[in-house]
């Protein structure tokens, strides 16, 4: 029995030792009871400089269509992004982006930033004045097909041009031009020239020049088929030259409403005509009143400019009355009268 009791005592001591070892192992693996998440975070600190950011996109209320995107960063920094698109959606634009990340540790007061700025590029082709909505921008100039927007001599000269005739007002216009020794270019409708050959001859006799302004004054012209545009230009030129007689020269083509296209410009060039634009639109065709016609000229005219007026296409009494005042004003301003470049 004493031996059996001794064995039992040894077994109890061994079991107690195993329990103590197990308890110690569990304590090492799980940590002390009651440890908080802060204690754990202190024991295992996170690395600074890699903050997590929540990106929030919020379109601005800018009516021009620009949008802003802002990013709010947590913990160590912030990020912001501003995008300013071109206000004109149809314009081409070049974008430059500069991104410079910074960490909170390196610069506590400077937030992370990523800024994108979109700047519209300048157009290589100047916008030509036109009164026809939706007219396409002329294509790259073919040889000799660029539109004329200046006088032949430049300097302090001006070119007077009259469209849609010859008509009832043409004789009065010619009288005024003769009084001031002014020369002008008449952009004629083919059938109008055929109906008034005496006026066409008088225009030429006065030292003025002629321009092709189509047969039917179609608007918008660029929507016509190629063959119809050829007819409008070729037939009008034939009618004008026949009305003027032998040796009549037609030097320019003006598209109705300024609706020039690569097609009708090339047709004109093949017919020996230079496309003719303008720089001053008096808007006399709309009969805005004599003061408005004069004001448009005084506001828009620059040396070497081309003035658009009308001697046909309706009642042109306002045009004649305005011309009576404009001719002496132009002389007083030191302008001399010239033809468009050809």
**Catalytic residue list:** 163, 310
CA distance 28 to 15: 20
Please state, as a whole number, how many other Cβ atoms lie within 10 Å of the Cβ of residue 98.
Answer: 9
The span from the CA of 181 to the CA of 336, in Å, is 9
Q: List all residues 6 or more positions away from 209 whose beta carbon is below 8 Å from its beta carbon.
A: 183, 184, 185, 186, 249, 251, 252, 339
Closest CA to 149 of 164, 159, 134, 138: 159
What 3-state class would DSSP assign to 306?
Answer: strand
Tokens 């598209």 belong to 255
What CA–CA distance (Å, rounded) separates 151 from 160?
10
| Closest C-alpha to 149, from 309, 328, 307 | 307
Spatial contact of 160 and 293, defined as CB atoms under 8 Å apart:
no
């Amino acid at each position: 029995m004493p031996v059996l009791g001794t064995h039992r005592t040894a077994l109890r001591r061994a079991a107690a030792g195993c329990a103590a070892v197990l308890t110690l192992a569990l304590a090492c693996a799980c940590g002390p009871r009651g440890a908080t998440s802060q204690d754990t975070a202190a024991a295992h600190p996170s690395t600074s400089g890699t903050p997590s950011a929540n990106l929030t996109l919020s379109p601005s209320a800018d009516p021009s269509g620009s949008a802003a995107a802002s990013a709010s960063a947590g913990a160590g920094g912030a990020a912001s992004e501003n995008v300013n698109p071109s206000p004109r959606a149809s314009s081409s634009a070049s974008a430059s982006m500069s991104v410079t990340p910074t960490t909170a540790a390196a610069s506590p007061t400077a937030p992370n930033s990523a800024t994108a700025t979109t700047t519209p590029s300048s157009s290589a082709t100047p916008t030509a004045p036109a009164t026809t909505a939706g007219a396409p921008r002329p294509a790259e100039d073919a040889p000799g097909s660029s539109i004329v927007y200046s006088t032949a001599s430049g300097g302090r000269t001006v070119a007077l041009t009259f469209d849609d005739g010859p008509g009832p007002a043409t004789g009065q216009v010619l009288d005024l031009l003769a009084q001031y020794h002014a020369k002008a270019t008449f952009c004629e409708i083919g059938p109008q020239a055929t109906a008034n050959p005496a006026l066409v001859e008088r225009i030429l006799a006065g030292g003025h020049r002629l321009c092709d302004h189509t047969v039917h004054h179609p608007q918008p012209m660029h929507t016509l088929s190629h063959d119809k545009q050829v007819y409008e230009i070729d037939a009008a030129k034939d009618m004008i030259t026949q009305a003027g007689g032998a040796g009549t020269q037609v030097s320019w083509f003006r598209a109705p409403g300024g609706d020039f296209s690569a097609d009708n410009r090339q047709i004109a060039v093949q017919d020996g005509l230079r496309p003719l634009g303008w720089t001053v639109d008096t808007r006399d065709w709309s009969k805005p009143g004599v003061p408005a016609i004069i004001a448009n000229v005084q506001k828009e005219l620059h040396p070497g400019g081309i003035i658009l007026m009308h001697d046909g296409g309706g009642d042109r009494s306002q045009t004649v009355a305005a011309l009576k005042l404009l001719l002496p004003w132009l002389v007083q301003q030191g302008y001399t009268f010239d033809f468009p470049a050809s």
